[in-house]
Amino acid sequence: MLKLQQVKIARAGQTLLQVPELTVAPGKVGMIMGPSGSGKSTLLLWLLGQAPATFDIAGQLSLNDQDITQQEVSARRIGMLFQSSLLFPHMSVEQNLLFALPRRAPYQSCAARLARVETLLAAVALADKRKAMPDTLSGGEQARVALLRALINEPKALLLDEPFAALDQHRREEVRQWTFEQIAQWQIPALMVSHDLQDRPALAQQRGPLLSIGNAATHLVQE
């Protein structure tokens, strides 16, 4: 469970975003909607533990009932998915996933690591793309590989920064639904920021919390 309490983001004395309280359960997707410049992406960086020094940020972050507000980035085990897939262009799909897979038990041997990658790719119908280079993949395929790369580290929570904005309308709906299904299957809480109103109907099926930001005020719209 991911929980934010009394979070406030300000810059140069001006409040950009406030979240009195927001809780996202395992397998659910919470969403914060608001215009550009409202502090949404800065909030995600703070959740990661990489808050920009130019912002004044206060609040408490808990993950699975543990206060992690002051934890280092590596200790938080929070994954991130961006608008761009950010796949390494000089690496194959398999190599991109292996790069993100930590060398910890039970994935220390080469055989175990390769088996893990093969299993994940097969689960999302991309087994035949294992040796493919990113520039040969469709936008939807790149998005799926990017999500797998975020999940392969087995994060305790996942952050989504406008992850579907770069896709065309058809692919956007398909990838959005697939992404939410994967989050439900992995049973981790996820928090997405977006300014696209078309993300709201898909979120409603997740029954996750939705916060709408406007004029430095945050309102709980749906829970």
pLDDT in tens, 45-93: 999 999 888 999 999 999 999 999 999 998 999 999 887 888 999 999 9
**pLDDT confidence of residue 218:** 41
Task: Please tell me whether residue 152 adopts helix, strand or coil conformation.
Answer: coil
**Structure confidence by residue, pLDDT tens digits, 56-68:** 999 999 999 999 9
Closest by alpha carbon to 148, among 170, 117, 173, 172? 117
Q: What percent of the chain has pLDDT over 70?
A: 87
**Domains within the chain, CATH numbers bracketed:** 2-77+155-222 (3.40.50.300)
> What would the mean pLDDT of 90-105 be, rounded to a whole number?
93
pLDDT tier, 220 (very low <50, low <70, confident <90, very high otherwise): very low
Task: For the beta carbon of residue 34, count every other beta carbon within 10 angstroms.
Answer: 20
Specify which residues 9 forms β-bridges with.
Answer: 17, 57
The pTM score is 0.84
